[in-house]
Amino acid sequence: MRTRRKKAAVTGVSTAKQRASSAGVFLPGKNDHSLIIDFRYTGESLAPLFELEQMLEKEIENHQLGKFDGHGISLEDKAVSLFMYAPNARKLFRQIRHVLKKAPFMRNADVYMRFGPLSSETRQEQFKLKFR
């Protein structure tokens, strides 16, 4: 009987990890998908960009979808890249799309989704961000 309890406990832990992974929770080593958004920032102040980043980070954390990993910016030509990682890039994009719509400077941004680890064989998608 003790053996069964140990098995049940181990099975319970495994099942919890499986549920967390399928729910899109950020688990170290499980976030092989990436979502990168590139755009030109035309604003004078960087405050709206930082505000968008805070909203994205909050949305991702609140829904336990993955991780907002920050930005890269060229102050010379104001080219910006936003970096996000998750177990499911498509699910992450669907959840943050409404946040992106709030920022007019995101219109026509280039969106890159990678569905697996960094490799030449990993499936990827690229498209322009369009809002109605």
Reported as a single tens digit per residue, the pLDDT across 11-25 is 333 333 333 334 444
Encoded tokens for 28: 């170290």
Reported as a single tens digit per residue, the pLDDT across 65-107 is 999 999 999 878 889 999 999 999 999 999 999 999 999 999 9
Q: What is the DSSP string of 54-91?
A: HHHHHHHHHTT--EEEEEEEETTTTEEEEEEEES-HHH
Instruction: Output the pTM of the full model.
Output: 0.75
Give all domains of the chain, ordered by start, each with its CATH number. 2-128 (3.30.70.100)
